[in-house]
Copies of this chain bind each other. A is one copy, B any other.
Amino acid sequence: MNRNAAYARRYGFPQRVRIVEVGPRDGLQAEPEFVATSDKIAMIDRLAAAGIREFEATSFVSPRAVPQLRDAAEVVAGVDRGRPIRLTTLVPNPRGAVAAAEAGVDAMVVFLSASESHNRKNVNRARAESLEGFREVVAIAREAGIKVQGAIATSFGCPFEGEVDVGAITDIAKAYAQMGITHVTLGDTTGMATPPLVAERCKALRREVPESEIALHFHNTRGIGLVNVHAGLAEGITIFESSIGGLGGCPFAPGATGNIATEDLVYMLHECGVETGIDAIAVTEAAAWMEGVMGRKLPGQAAKAGPRLKTSALDAVATACG
């Protein structure tokens, strides 16, 4: 067994994980300038060519609420479906579900905050009302033969309330499961996840809602996003969400980064002996391309530094380094 595989085994990491690219949705939703539909499509197509198979492609939300994603149907229609990719989209309400079904998405994602204040702030509804509203979404999706997944925002802490009790997470996951939603994404909406919280929440879900599969969605707001992935891997989690370049932000911390960067995540996973099926180099090239689209540097690191074993000529610049 090689060094990396031995490391993975020591920590009980899964042999292979799935990466869900959320850049087109979570990465872009707060961008003030509209990103061209063709760029959104090219983003997905390029990443699909790099081996990514799952995308949170957009959100069928009101164009007034999130103008950046007003082209949801065009994005879904424009993506090259020749590759075996899976497109999921957020749907905040039955109207969004109808539109998503018409667009031909592979899965719909309903979302609820673990904390009452954040849910009210985010979707102007109590958590119980949100859950009640999901029944109609599920019915629409079932009719169309489309899977529904559930996300739990502020799963590791709330920007208004502080700590979020683990019971809030398991209660929502149970409510989801009762509706037949057995794919649950724990969203670290404002970067409050820590490794011990990740371990605790994954264990609790496994124990109390064993029928559900768990996905983890971390932000790198406080620099420890990939350490949280490490904690998730040690719990046997096999689905992680990230955005190319680390595109995105935190609505409560101007200047702070958003999602963990896909290229850094792929780099870390491969170096820790976990397979992804993704071409690590192609994904850094996609991140560099994305910086061109956005016209600015993005927070991801692996693309800037290049491959680990890339060697320089001996006449390259070098300062005295201790």
Residues of chain A touching chain B, judged by Cβ–Cβ distance below 8 Å, are: 3-4, 6-7, 10, 25-26, 29-30, 56, 59, 61, 65-66, 90, 92, 109, 111, 117-118, 121-123, 151, 153, 157-163, 185, 187, 189, 191-192, 194-197, 199-200, 220-224, 226-227, 230-231, 250-253, 255-257, 261, 264, 267-268, 271-273, 297, 300-302, 304-306, 308-309, 311-314, 316-322
Contact = CB atoms under 8 A, between A and B. Distances in A.
A121 B10 CA distance: 37
A158 B191 CA distance: 34
Contacts of A200: 3
Contacts of A273: 196
A268 B223 contact: yes
Which of A199, A253, A267, A321 has the most C-beta atoms of chain B within 10 angstroms of its own C-beta?
A321
Given A226-B223, A264-B224, A311-B159, A92 B320 contact: yes
The 7 closest A-B pairs by CB, nearest first: A223-B264, A223-B301, A7-B196, A194-B271, A111-B322, A256-B305, A253-B305
Contact of A7 (B7, B25, B118, B199): B199
Nearest to A229: B227
A216 B213 CA distance: 37
Given A7-B195, A194-B308, A301-B221, A321 B189 contact: yes
Nearest to A258: B321
Contact of A122 (B196, B268, B320): B320
A58 B197 CA distance: 39
Given A159-B311, A221-B301, 4 more contacts: A25-B322, A192-B309, A223-B264, A223-B268
Number of copies: 2
A25 B319 CA distance: 12
Nearest to A197: B3
Nearest to A221: B305
Which of A185, A264, A271 has the most C-beta atoms of chain B within 10 angstroms of its own C-beta?
A271
A296 to B, nearest CB: 12
B61 A320 contact: yes
Nearest to A199: B7
Which of A194, A195, A222, A313 has the most C-beta atoms of chain B within 10 angstroms of its own C-beta?
A222
A157 B308 contact: yes
24 contacts: A4-B194, A29-B321, A66-B320, A111-B322, A122-B321, A157-B309, A159-B311, A159-B316, A187-B322, A192-B308, A194-B271, A194-B308, A195-B271, A195-B272, A222-B264, A223-B226, A223-B264, A223-B267, A223-B302, A224-B226, A252-B312, A253-B304, A253-B306, A255-B304
B29 A65 contact: no
A272 B65 CA distance: 38
Nearest to A257: B301
A249 to B, nearest CB: 9
